Amino acid sequence: MLKGVHQLRLLCYNPILILFRKCVYYTEMRANMSMNIVCLDLEGVLVPEIWIAFAKETGIPELEKTTRDEPDYDKLMNYRINILKEHGLGLKEIQETIAKIDPMPGAKEFLDELREITQVIIISDTFTQFAAPLMKKLGWPTIFCNSLEVAEDGEITGYRMRVENSKYSTVKALQSIGFETIASGDSHNDLGMIKASKAGFLFKSTEQIKKDNPELEAYETYEQLMEAIKKAL
């Protein structure tokens, strides 16, 4: 009996066996990481909506309109820029609001866990001038986003998209070089990348968007979304 226990202990603590198990684990993990990329929206998924926060800060309710409400992004951004101009507001004022925004409860922990098991890219229609402080609070994940055109006095005069239909175009580009994408977002402008991916999920979306897209799985918690992503890997 003692001999058997001793052999069991040797088996359990055999460094070669432990190394083998680790190699199997990391091989499986690398396989997941090499083949899959999870593509996440930013605002409404990991952080609160920037424009809603700014609308509340300035007392301008017209700025609360987001991509959940308006599917035409060019129309929405031109609308925002005109309102900013009317009120004499620019990049500085928006950045002051962004500095006060924290990730949604549980977002960083969700992202940290996800990045341990697969590759993750945030694909957002926000702008480089907005993103940096939020990326710092999220642990500096990779983000693909757009850029604002800003005058010397800080007035936002326009914007430049990375590419037309940027979220959909990005996942298609990733797929063209051998990756399988899994996507999640909450708004109209996320639907393209969600539907083009091998698995796609709505997260904290509106009732109308969920109603209009009944074929898409919809989740409200990070635990639910994590479970769905793991099943899709």
Q: Which residues are catalytic?
A: 41, 43
Give the Cβ contact number of residue 216 at 10 Å.
16
Closest CA to 216 of 192, 55, 35, 230: 192
Coil/strand/helix, residue 148: strand
Instruction: Please report, for residues 68, 193, 202, the alpha-carbon distance to residue 212 in angstroms, rounded to integers and kept in the order given.
Output: 12, 16, 12
Of 56, 51, 39, 8, the C-alpha closest to 182 is 39
